[in-house]
Structure 1
């Protein structure tokens, strides 16, 4: 009986020790939050699954692998969701371009659209070796379609793409709608009125001395729908992103843009830091460059356009600034257009040195325009009357363009000499790298893809600042003299007394001679 009781006690002690040891093995670590019991269980399972050779030698490495696997699984649940990239966000916006509204009728496809066939233009541009590529041209075409529908434009076309350091500008050219000219003019007048009120308020709060300097009269901006402001331009950074309307351009902006060279950043509100100072931000600079590029590179086949009928009576007073499509145009052979520059003409007005397409006389005040003809003729005969600037007329052949830096202004070729019957005539501008035009039969188109800078020869040298003006002329009349010393004053007084005495003696001598003569 004693032996049995002792065996029972020893077995109970072993069970208690085993339970205590198991509880010890189940105790979690304060560092890794793991327990030995589960670790040994997983380790033995790993040994049974893999049956490695010399298990006693690699048991430490296997134990480390088990711990590392638990650690990686634990942290894998805390991973953040991947962030949406800019390309994915842009693709999400562009996906809407390819969606068709359910309410759209198929009859709309038969209605004439103000948008040209951009896909066909992209095909011909690809033959010429320029353009944006098929995929981007299709996205741009849908973006232009969206612009036409949202703004109700009468005519719209792809003008081109100007590259920037941060992002680029896709540019669309459109015609002004009826009444839009008045809205823009009213907006400009309201902005000017706000500036005047702000200046008046500042002067009332802290008045400054008024300057008597009168600056030279500013060249007035051309009216909306004429000259450099004939067309309206919208820009966007990528297809499906919002279109932004550019402001109208002023002669001062064009004049300064001709004197500076600045890369575009891709931000319309970015300042233009340059010398001379540019009057505006990057949106105004972009609009000025578009006007300059259009005036120099927008060309068409000879005979495609003809002068408008409205200008028949005003040829002597103003240059032709409008044209219309010639219905009798039959096309020019591709070989002739590729060989001769006389087959191409400019259909955009030339910008004068004044910054306008039509010259304005700044010497005539606005109130003097209604004077009689006799007074106007007298003023023309005055020598100080400025000579009016006259540019080349509209539809001038390209063969009359002047070379710059010993470089021909244009380069022409045929797209393919092997299949000339299906080729197109390609024209590239050397003065505005990136400007290109093609012509095939009765079809032609212009496009610009570049940095928006004109060819400047071997290297560009910024203009030297003018010499500082002199405050006043120097000379003995206004030069301050030093005060004489006491000795110098006494010597000068003695010299004056001697001079007066000599003059008195001379007068006495003359009187005595006169008395002797009598």
Structure 2
């Protein structure tokens, strides 16, 4: 019996020891949440399944493989690749420029679309341009614009740089009868205020100030709104039509200097405040740059003679001269009198044609006798007169002691193939070239006018002299009560003394009269 009880005790001890050992093997690690028991089980299963040669030599590698197979990625530090980049999206949009549908009609309407590749070649000779690849994409974008809109003429005006993105600008002209009418903003009529005479017995005084009437903008196809302009950020992106420009916007644009952001809907924060957003500011700058830097060889255009116009009236339109034979390149590079302005000058009023705001539309149909009387009225404003159309560049004035234009020849080595290049110092970025009967204008810049050298703070004025110190100016301390009483007694004594003196003088006068 003793032997049997001892055997049972040893068996129980072995069972407890085996359970303790198994519990030890099942203890998981803190790094990978694994335990030795499961790892050895998987390792033995792998050895039995694969039965490799020299198991003892490769047992370490098998153990590493078992650990790596059970490892799971909980967090990856690698970023997911973008499905499409911005360059790929732009390339996909520009791919449509090179695509031509098979169903397109072979017979297309002839549109005055200049050869942008040729213009880019000449501009490259002048040291200006946007690059051959970009010029070719712009040409295809202009072709796409012409096909989508009813345009009679379209050309590359230039490119205005921006802080975030730039604007590629196309100058276009509609066919007759196909112009799009812009929506006119209706002015809200102020409702008359109802006055309650019972409650307000003494009404407030009313102001008699009347603001000057706004200058109406010029109609489409005339003056600063002669052409319509489309802009896009990159060739292949949608073209956006800019609104017409108003005189108030041109006047405000002359007083501010703002870089473009590249967002047409961005507000223009400036002083004085600009009436509109960046699209209106861009349109105003385009009108100013065109009026100041659009030039052509003298004789290329001739004034249009219209019936019913006076001989002394300034011409507002022109036509191409069919008899123009061109000007020598050397002559155009040396003399500014061979170049002329073919865009109307913008007056201080903000219009190309002056408008008398003192005359109401109803008063224009008065009799001739009344008009003659008004001519002698001293309050009648004097009409503004600017440079005439097709005025030579030699009549332009200097700007901050700087010549308004700089001209040169593209090459002195091969003068037979050279071109005349003209650069505007008033609008940096405006260039023009001429070669025979060909010429073109382009602008590539920030859209800002030349403002002279860098800003220099003015010298402070001489300090003003101080007022002289005296009893009339110097502030004195208030007297005390004792000083006031003493001063009062002093005044009473002075008054009594004066009365005594007056009485003595009267007595002396009486004595003299008795004598």
Same topology, TM > 0.5: yes
Which stretch shifts more, 220-229 or 175-184?
175-184
Alignment match of 1:36 (pick from 16, 36, 39):
39
Work out the CA distance in 1 between the residues paired with 2:114 and 2:139.
9
Partner of 2:234: 238
C-alpha deviation, 1:256, in angstroms:
1.1
Alignment match of 1:305 (pick from 298, 301, 318):
301
C-alpha deviation, 1:70, in angstroms:
8.1
C-alpha deviation, 1:365, in angstroms:
1.5
Work out the CA distance in 2 between the residues paired with 1:65 and 1:361.
94
CA separation of 1:163 and 1:79: change in aligned 2, threshold 3 A: closer
SS of the residue 2:306 aligns to: helix
Matching of residue 408 in structure 1 with residue 406 in structure 2: no
Matching of residue 222 in structure 1 with residue 218 in structure 2: yes
The C-alpha deviation readout for 1:347-403, integer Å capped at 9, x for no partner, is 000011111111111111211111112221221112221111111111011011011
SS of the residue 1:437 aligns to: strand
Alignment match of 2:146 (pick from 132, 145, 148):
148
Work out the CA distance in 2 between the residues paired with 1:306 and 1:200.
53
Partner of 1:330: 325
CA separation of 1:429 and 1:78: change in aligned 2, threshold 3 A: closer
Partner of 1:131: 129
User: Which structure 2 residues correspond to residues 112-511 of structure 1 after superposition, within 5 A?
Assistant: 112-179=110-177, 183-184=181-182, 187-188=183-184, 191-192=185-186, 195-196=187-188, 200=191, 212-310=208-306, 313-317=309-313, 319-459=314-454
The C-alpha deviation readout for 1:405-447, integer Å capped at 9, x for no partner, is 0000000011111111111111000010000001111111000
For structure 2, which runs of at least 5 residues remain unmatched after alignment? Answer: 1-13, 48-57, 195-203, 459-515
Higher helix share: 1
Scaled by the length of structure 1, the TM-score of the pair is: 0.73
Partner of 2:84: 84
Partner of 1:97: 97
Work out the CA distance in 1 between the residues paired with 2:281 and 2:257.
10
Work out the CA distance in 1 between the residues paired with 2:82 and 2:359.
68
Partner of 2:200: none
SS of the residue 1:145 aligns to: helix
The C-alpha deviation readout for 1:117-146, integer Å capped at 9, x for no partner, is 111111111111111111111111111111
The C-alpha deviation readout for 1:311-353, integer Å capped at 9, x for no partner, is 6733434x21111110111111111111111111000000111
C-alpha deviation, 1:214, in angstroms:
1.0
CA contact (8 A) 1:260 1:462 kept: no
Work out the CA distance in 1 between the residues paired with 2:89 and 2:41.
47
Work out the CA distance in 1 between the residues paired with 2:134 and 2:41.
59
Work out the CA distance in 2 between the residues paired with 1:38 and 1:99.
65
CA separation of 1:177 and 1:75: change in aligned 2, threshold 3 A: same
- Over aligned residue pairs, what C-alpha RMSD do you find? 3.9
The C-alpha deviation readout for 1:149-174, integer Å capped at 9, x for no partner, is 11121100000011111111111101
CA separation of 1:382 and 1:85: change in aligned 2, threshold 3 A: same
Which stretch shifts more, 160-169 or 452-461?
452-461
Work out the CA distance in 1 between the residues paired with 2:267 and 2:409.
42
C-alpha deviation, 1:453, in angstroms:
0.3
Scaled by the length of structure 2, the TM-score of the pair is: 0.73
CA separation of 1:458 and 1:36: change in aligned 2, threshold 3 A: same
Work out the CA distance in 2 between the residues paired with 1:230 and 1:403.
28
Work out the CA distance in 1 between the residues paired with 2:382 and 2:442.
36
Work out the CA distance in 2 between the residues paired with 1:234 and 1:160.
11
C-alpha deviation, 1:100, in angstroms:
1.1
The C-alpha deviation readout for 1:184-218, integer Å capped at 9, x for no partner, is 2xx11xx22xx416x659x89xxxx9754310122
C-alpha deviation, 1:80, in angstroms:
3.1
SS of the residue 1:154 aligns to: strand
Work out the CA distance in 2 between the residues paired with 1:400 and 1:33.
90
Work out the CA distance in 1 between the residues paired with 2:424 and 2:72.
62
The C-alpha deviation readout for 1:244-296, integer Å capped at 9, x for no partner, is 11111111111111111111111111111111111111111111100000000
Work out the CA distance in 2 between the residues paired with 1:374 and 1:38.
121
Divergent runs of 4+, >6 A: 27-30, 38-41, 62-70, 72-79
Matched residues, number: 423
CA contact (8 A) 1:426 1:438 kept: yes
The structure with the largest alpha-carbon Rg is 2
